[in-house]
Chains A and B, each alone.
Chain A
């Protein structure tokens, strides 16, 4: 995933360990990725794969008991590993913005949406109330909220879920961030609203040249939104690459397994047996060695217990002992 230009965000060997009573939980185990300006990276994985922790680690919002280490983690030349809390605070909400899953919990119920929209701008940019207000109205209109000026005095509970998420997006855009991290931004919404919010995010990031990391469990969302995809399993990015490559020619057995699990209109025969991935995610407590997917993989061999080589040709790479990711064994074209 290395390009020649310096990426906006570069992460190498990000590792997150959580000490537990029964041992250390290796929640994220050495992940690498680069993100350039204007690019959208989707990290897809099931619950417990470490995708949300990865986003919190970038933001510096991890719980105190989680140990973070990395070879490198840089945002536009700023070393995020050594940044002080004060430096992180000035980045967050300004150059790096966040959008979380549940808009009701990321908005403060006791303040009007106008106050909440203006807060970030007034905090980071020292602008007048009038200017902040004008910017808030401008952005509410941009995210498709009608009668924007009159909405400023409303409280979050007076808005529907879809409108609230639009407000959260507007809030994220207030300071013209360079990077947006969106963690399951549409999971709590209806499918129709989901489509509207996603197209809004795609449009705005394109128009403003904002880079985005979108975390989701929904492969449909990934396919429609991502430039680059990272498939996460048990704390590792097991496959990374451009969206067209990962969906067109999935190399890791887990990626193919996931794609077979979902009914695909037009492709899957109605009522037919869906693919499954037997077994459960292994415990990541204690010593974790070899391929974490081997216990559920139909192509597992003894060598899967050892270190797993990185394969593929950039930008499409994967982790597997099989040089072709066992595509031939599944009758898939090479």
Chain B
């Protein structure tokens, strides 16, 4: 269980963004010094608000964006040296919107077999066999082979996307909001399927979602991202039962469980999400943090280890003047 299949070492991605027509380009740190480890069979949930860098991180892992700094290692090998093809064999994506991620002019058989053809795996007969097997695996009948995406429901399309991702037997699947576009009753079917496939094939998932209830349900470990940094990382039980970072707590508070005896929660996040081009000084979270002091404004927190991960907050740093060992938010 404990061999790292994917490792990120101090990965950063900086875009240069122009302010206005003649403005000078300013750096935007979409991903800022991120180190993460995914062990075999794990599901790492990645949560955070829009604009925090989740999707940029996913693009780096898929080889769609090159990191500006740092290393990405798959099975201990750096992927910078490997081509896109070699990477695609090992890491496959499932995207949010099954309406736009499938080519409407191709049949399901074409869509699912494309990875095999791109990688030159097998001949036509063996590919057809492989497609049928994979479709069966994701719960689609063989009769859909010659249909088009437009003839399918959202849930069926997402099953096609999963089949396409799995046909190359990847080690790692990047699930970027895989159920956000689906209805509740369909979402649960897809989540069950992803969970079953993981158990059966020992797959490793990076599971990106804004739905914390879903992440809590599926993930084994969770990383909380804020303005390009992983501000807290922990095992799922530790993070959901005892969040350390005030931002993690605010995110957890904002989950609306279907409990009519409770009202709408107060997240205590006063200010809006900051502009990533001008991130706040010190701890990026300080303008929205109910516990912030002047120390937070001046000094960036360093990662402090916690069970199964780390947390970046002065309240948990023994070397900080704000250290409160008994602090649980």
B19 located at the interface, meaning its Cβ lies under 8 Å from any Cβ of chain A in the complex: no
Residues of B within 8 Å of A259, CB to CB, are: 258
User: Min CB distance, A142 to chain B, in Å?
Assistant: 16
Question: Is there contact, CB below 8 Å, between A225 and B261?
Answer: no
CB distance from A161 to the nearest CB of B (A): 8
Query: Which of these, B185, B265, B272, contacts A261 with CB under 8 Å?
Result: B185
> Is B260 a contact of A243 with CB atoms below 8 Å?
yes
User: Which of A131-139, A169-177, A213-221 lies on the face that meets chain B?
Assistant: A213-221
- Chain A residues positioned under 8 Å from B255 (CB to CB): 191, 220, 265
A218 engages B188 (CB within 8 Å) = no
Q: Do residues B260 and A263 form an inter-chain contact, with CB atoms below 8 A?
A: no
Residue B258 contacts which of A223, A273, A275 (CB distance < 8 angstroms)? Answer: A223
Tell me the residues in window 123-157 of chain A with beta carbons closer than 8 Å to chain B beta carbons: none
A264 with B251, Cβ < 8 A, contacts A162-B272, A196-B267, A224-B263 known: no
A283 at interface (Cβ–Cβ under 8 A)?
A: no
Contact A274 B184 (CB under 8 A): no
Interface residues on B, range: 35 or more
Q: Is there a chain B Cβ closer than 8 Å to A53's Cβ?
A: no
Give every chain A residue within 8 A of B265 (Cβ-Cβ): 195, 199, 224
A195-B254 contact given A224-B263, A274-B191, CB 8 Å threshold: yes
Residues of A with C-beta under 8 A to B261: 244
A262 touches B184 (CB 8 A): yes
Contact between A222 and B258, CB atoms less than 8 A apart = yes
Chain B's closest residue to A264 (CB) is: B257
Cα A258 to Cα B263 in complex, Å, equals: 21
A270 within 8 Å of B (CB atoms): yes
User: A residues within 8 A CB of B49?
Assistant: 190-193
Is A224 a contact partner of B262 (Cβ separation < 8 A)? yes
Partner of A270, one of B183, B216, B260: B216
Q: How large is the interface on A (under 10, 10 to 19, 20 to 34, 35 or more residues)?
A: 35 or more
CA A176 to CA B191, docked complex, whole Å: 44
A57 to B49, CA, bound (A): 35
For A221-255 the 0/1 string (1 means CB < 8 A from B) is 11111100000000000000001101110000000
Q: Among B187, B216, B250, B259, point to the contact of A223 (Cβ < 8 A).
A: B259
Chain B residue with Cβ nearest A227: B260
Task: Kindly state whether residue B269 has any CB partner on chain A within 8 Å.
Answer: yes
Asked whether B184 lies within 8 Å of A46 as measured between CB atoms, the reply is: yes
Find the A residue at minimum CB distance from B213. Answer: A263
Most chain B beta carbons < 10 A, residue from A160, A199, A243, A271: A271
Q: Could you say which residues of chain B place their CB within 8 Å of the CB of A192?
A: 49, 250-251, 254, 267, 269
In chain B, residues 233-273, which have Cβ atoms closer than 8 Å to a Cβ of chain A? Answer: 236-237, 240, 250-251, 253-267, 269, 272-273
Does B217 count as interface, using CB distance less than 8 angstroms? yes
Q: Does any Cβ of A come within 8 Å of B210's Cβ?
A: yes
Chain A residues closer than 8 Å to B269, beta-carbon distance? 192, 196
12 A–B contact pairs at CB < 8 A? Answer: A161-B50, A162-B273, A192-B251, A195-B266, A198-B256, A202-B263, A220-B255, A220-B258, A247-B258, A258-B184, A265-B255, A270-B217
**3 shortest A-B CB distances, which residue pairs?**
A220-B256, A263-B217, A261-B188
Which A residues form the contact surface with B (CB < 8 A)? 46-47, 160-163, 190-196, 198-199, 202, 217-226, 243-244, 246-248, 257-266, 268, 270-277, 280
Q: A264-B213, A277-B185, A280-B153 are in contact. List 7 more A-B contacts (CB 8 A).
A: A162-B273, A195-B254, A219-B184, A248-B260, A268-B217, A271-B217, A274-B188
